[in-house]
Amino acid sequence: MAKLVGILTAGGDSPGLNAAIRGVGKAAIGIYGMELIGFRDGFRGLVQDRTVRLSLPQLSGILTVGGTILGTSRDKPHKMLVGNKRVDMTSAIVETYQRHQLTALVCLGGGGTQKNAFRLVEQGLNIITLPKTIDNDVAMTDITFGFDTALGIATEAIDRLHSTAHSHHRIIVVEVMGHNAGWLALGAGLAGGADVILIPEIPYDVEGIAAAIRTRSRAGSRFSIVAVSEGAMSKELAAEREQAETSLAKAKGKEKREARQKLTAIEQKLRTRTMDLSRELETLTELESRVTILGHLQRGGTPSAGDRILATRLGTACAGLIDRGVFGVMVAARGNGAEPIPLEDVVGKRKTVPLNHPWITTARQVGVCLGDDGEGSP
Ligand code: F6P
């Protein structure tokens, strides 16, 4: 009997997921004589045993298609919403796995998915994962698929914003996704020639940014593009949040409620930070400012050539590892190759931009303001 491999996509969708499914499937079926079955909508489909048979015809024509043919969700096996309650559904997942007599389950996802997949490894299941996310923040892999496509989209947006900013002599603040990592904003800002790039790893000083924009203006460039990562924050907000988090961790009894309220108030301020930044820059520079939030545009549509190749490369390597019985690992991108990394070395870590990363040095060398004093401190 042919070995049956399960596959699911979890977390936010990302360009390249279908290319990866196709890569796993074509190699698993075509080279190793296995069969493939897809579970719909991430871990929820595994709990509910909602499947789709993936034979060669279903894998045809999906390489260039965005999103995921399997559907996805942000459900966590151990905290799944059932009615209005969070329930641990891990045992239902184990049952589905055993019912199908799976040889392995492939989970395609970002940092959260790696964690959820590791929980299933602890249940004794044969799990293997691939790293996808437009945020590029999964530890132990050179890159994640989805990032290159999102980088291209955000860069093109910044390119297009230049002409309108230039024509109106305005500041345009463009918010880029990336969660708590600055890869996307830094990469797109650098590639698109942004004048200011703000990332979560470097809390910013608004006065310093305004000064840099005024200097540009005096030198004759009466417009500026500010690429801001959705996770970036001013040094004041960063300090306030850190303090509130520490107080909440230390608080006992009645103090806990007050500490929680303080943190909620700060989180409220964080929600409007890009608009607030734009308004503050307008006041400080006396230039008009507009905000563009790129949002989910960055995740939509056909994957770039780079992501198609990466996802296919990792997908086919994954099938080879299943054939060799290598489980409990993430198939990481290493140079031009792929390497299995134990999931326990991946989970609980986030790959943020190191302050000495060449992209940061390069940005400074071309005169980009990173919102700090030029040496990494605001
Ligand atoms: O992790 C990918 C990502 O697009 C982040 O950049 C962003 O913060 C988040 O997902 C948005 O999530 P959702 O699509 O659930 O709103």
Residue 374 has pLDDT above 80, yes or no: no
Per the structure block, which two tokens stand in for 66? 């965005």
Q: Is 110 in the pocket of ligand 1 (CB under 6 A)?
A: yes
Task: State how beta strands 289-293 and 171-176 pair.
Answer: parallel
Q: Does the beta carbon of 179 sit less than 6 angstroms from any atom of ligand 1?
A: yes
Q: pLDDT (tens digit, 9 = 90+) per residue, 345-373?
A: 999 999 999 999 999 999 999 999 999 97
Cα 12 to ligand 1 centroid, rounded to whole Å: 6
Here the tokens at position 178 are 């990336």
- Tens of pLDDT, residues 17-63: 999 999 999 999 999 999 999 999 999 999 999 999 999 999 999 99
Question: Can you tell me the distance from the alpha carbon of 247 to that of 66, in angstroms, rounded to the nearest whole number?
Answer: 43
The predicted structure's pLDDT at residue 375 = 59
State in Å: Cα 111 to ligand 1 middle: 12
Q: In the beta sheet, which residues pair with residue 227?
A: 174, 197
CA 169 – ligand 1 centroid, Å: 32
Name the β-bridge partners of 350.
138
What would you measure as the largest C-alpha separation in the chain, in angstroms?
Answer: 75
Nearest-CA residue for atom 11 of ligand 1: 12
| Structure tokens, 255 | 């103090």
Pairwise CA distance, residues 133 & 285, whole Å: 36
Residue with the nearest Cα to atom 14 of ligand 1? 12
The conformational region for residue 310 under phi > 0 = left, psi -120 to 50 = alpha, else beta, is alpha
Side-chain half-sphere of 369: how many Cα atoms within 13 Å? 23
Q: In whole angstroms, give the CA distance from residue 326 to residue 329.
A: 7
**Domain segments of the chain: what residues?**
4-146+303-345, 153-298+355-365
- As a whole-number percent, the residues of the chain with pLDDT over 70 amount to 99
Distance (Å) from CA 329 to ligand 1 centroid: 24
Q: Is 148 considered catalytic here? A: no
In this prediction, residue 228 has a pLDDT band, given cuts at 50, 70 and 90, of very high
**Nearest of 130, 161, 188 to residue 316 by alpha carbon:** 130
Q: Is 12 in the pocket of ligand 1 (CB under 6 A)?
A: yes
Nearest CA to ligand 1 atom 8: 179
Is the CB–ligand 1 distance for residue 133 below 6 Å? yes
Model pLDDT for residues 257-288, shown as the tens digit of each residue? 999 999 999 999 999 999 999 999 999 999 99
Report whether residue 134 contacts ligand 1, using a CB cutoff of 6 Å: yes
Residues 6+ apart with CB under 8 A from 205: 234, 235, 371, 372, 373, 378
Q: What separation in Å is there between the alpha carbon of 175 and the centre of ligand 1?
A: 13
Distance 325 CA to ligand 1 centre (A): 33
Q: Which residue has the tokens 């060449």?
A: 358
Cα-to-centroid distance, 146 and ligand 1 (Å): 12
- pLDDT tens-digit readout, 286-333: 999 999 999 999 999 999 999 999 999 999 999 999 999 999 999 999
Q: Best of 177, 273, 350 to mutate for ligand 1, by most ligand atoms within 8 A of CB?
A: 177
In whole numbers, what is the pLDDT of the chain averaged over residues? Answer: 96
Q: Once rounded to an integer, what is the mean pLDDT over residues 179-194?
A: 98
Q: Which residue in the block uniquely carries the two structure tokens 């395609």?
A: 108
pLDDT at 378 over 60: no
Q: How much of the chain exceeds pLDDT 90, in percent?
A: 97
116 C-beta closer than 6 A to ligand 1: no
Q: What is the pLDDT of residues 192-203, one digit of tens each?
A: 999 999 999 999
Q: What DSSP letter does each residue of 178-212 carry, written as one string?
A: -TT--HHHHHHHHHHT-SEEE-TTS-B-HHHHHHH
Residue 4's φ and ψ, nearest 5 degrees, are -105, 125
Tell me whether strands 171-176 and 51-54 are parallel, antiparallel or unpaired.
unpaired
Above 80 in pLDDT, residue 138?
Answer: yes
Q: Is the dihedral of CA 68, 71, 73, 79 positive or negative?
A: negative
Of 176, 179, 165, nearest in space to 281 by CA = 165
Is it the case that residue 376 has pLDDT exceeding 70? no
SS3 annotation, 354-376: CCCCHHHHHHHHCCCECCCCCCC
* Domain 4-146+303-345 and domain 153-298+355-365 have a common topology: yes
CB within 8 A of 332, min separation 6: which ones?
A: 131, 140, 141, 142, 338, 339, 340, 341, 346
Q: Hey, CA dihedral for 189, 195, 200, 202, is it positive or negative?
A: positive
Give the model's confidence band at 215: pLDDT under 50 very low, under 70 low, under 90 confident, else very high: very high
Point out the catalytic residue in the list 13, 41, 75, 135: 135
Name the residue at shortest CA distance from atom 2 of ligand 1: 12
Q: What is the pLDDT of residue 142?
A: 98
Closest approach atom of ligand 1 to CA 74? 15
**pLDDT reading at 377 higher than 70:** no
Among the four given CATH numbers 3.40.1280.10, 3.90.1150.10, 3.40.50.980, 3.40.50.460, the one describing domain 153-298+355-365: 3.40.50.460
178 lines ligand 1 (CB under 6 A): yes
For the domain 4-146+303-345, what is the CATH code?
A: 3.40.50.450
Please give the pLDDT value at position 254: 86
Q: Which residue out of 134, 144, 273, 297 has the highest number of ligand 1 atoms within 8 Å of its CB and is therefore the one to mutate?
A: 134
Whose CA is closest to atom 13 on ligand 1?
Answer: 12
Query: What is the model's pLDDT at position 167?
Result: 98
Task: Give the HSE-up count for residue 40: Cα atoms under 13 Å, Cβ half-sphere.
Answer: 6
Q: Strand ranges (DSSP E) for 119-267?
A: 127-131, 171-176, 196-198, 224-229
